[in-house]
Structure 1
């Protein structure tokens, strides 16, 4: 099976991002509107509480979307399926859920590291400023590496694909 072109992977992610953005707007809007006295303080007490709240409300459901879709019979998220690509293991088979969990966790690690740093920049805390800025710079460097790595290899595999032993392919259509 040929590897999925980088451009196709980007477009698939953009399609998925429409779902993620709609979900985020719905959750933040509806929960903030319905339960402002309960939710608002969670984002202003401490960076740790704000980070955990954001993780539970946004990152965890988004991660589950990727984990469950990519390990399902569709072998991909809505965006990947729409563009005819799928996530497989090295043998070209459907990935098991444990591999999908690892792949997704590795994929979103820089995102969570950035959240860690941003909450510590916004809210008062005892964490050293230097460590916060190093974390923020490192997370942005990781994201840059994630964007560049598929462009540097014939296989177009990303760092998290290498780590998880997966690849994104475009199955050949039968004529």
Structure 2
């Protein structure tokens, strides 16, 4: 089994990011309606609590995106739309099809930094309009999230055998 080269994986994620951006645009439309529509005041009140805002972001954005990758990469084709376009497929450590549990672990770890960043940002008072002083744990959480992103990118290089930590941990 030969690991995919970094540029192929980055290109595949670029295509997949178009899917993600389309979903984000649709979600932004729904969000705009919720803000200016008949439930605007209740929606604003709901989203004013950082824990609730974080849960809403996770359930409406991070989880569906992670499930998109989980389900497409655990499918018989073993690939998301972007990976299919580039000619890649996700396989287990032995070269066989990546099962659903392993794909779920892979996607969960892959998108963990994204959720960590959301959690850190949503707990900054006044975010995103007039951000105030972040809680003491917010900045370290962001640093850890970016460290993981850097580690994931480094995993694409020959230095770490072209396998990201989430690939290795998912099997």
Matching of residue 145 in structure 1 with residue 151 in structure 2:
yes
Q: Give the conservation status (yes or no) of the 8 Å contact 1:117–1:132.
A: yes
Aligned equivalent of 2:99: 96
Call closer, same or farther: CA 1:108–1:154 in 2, change over 3 Å: closer
- Ranked by relative contact order (alpha carbons within 8 Å, sequence separation 6 or more), the top structure is 1
C-alpha contact 1:13 1:79 (8 A) present in aligned 2: yes
**1: CA distance, partners of 2:112 / 2:136:** 20
User: What is the SS of the residue equivalent to 2:123?
Assistant: helix
3-state SS of 1:61 partner: helix
Compute the displacement of 1:95 (Å). Answer: 0.9
Contact 2:74 2:99 in 1 (8 A): yes
Alpha-carbon shift at residue 34 of structure 1 (Å): 3.3
> Cα offset for 1:149?
2.1
CA distance in structure 1 between the partners assigned to 2:96 and 2:14 by the alignment: 25
Q: Provide the residue aligned with 2:131 in structure 1.
A: none
Task: Output the CA distance in 2 between the equivalents of 1:12 and 1:97.
Answer: 20
Following the alignment from structure 2 to structure 1, what is the Cα–Cα distance between the partners of residues 101 and 88? 20
Whose strand proportion is higher, 1 or 2?
1
Instruction: State the alpha-carbon separation in 1 of the partners of residues 156 and 82 from structure 2.
Output: 18
What's 2:28 paired with? 28
CA contact (8 A) 2:92 2:98 kept: yes
Name the CA distance, whole Å, in 2 between partners of 1:19 and 1:40. 28
Runs of 4+ in 1 over 6 A off after TM superposition: none
TM-score by length of 2: 0.87
Task: Identify unmatched segments of 5+ residues in structure 2.
Answer: 128-133
Q: Return the alpha-carbon distance in structure 1 between the equivalents of residues 50 and 160 of structure 2.
A: 42
Which residue of structure 1 aligns with residue 47 of structure 2? Answer: 43
RMSD after superposition? 1.9
Q: Secondary structure at the match of 1:116?
A: helix
- 1:117 lines up with 2:123 in the alignment: no
CA distance in 2, matches of 1:63, 1:57: 11
TM-score by length of 1: 0.85
Report how many residues are paired. Answer: 161
Q: CA deviation at 1:160?
A: 0.5
CA contact (8 A) 1:51 1:119 kept: yes
1:152 CA displacement: 4.2
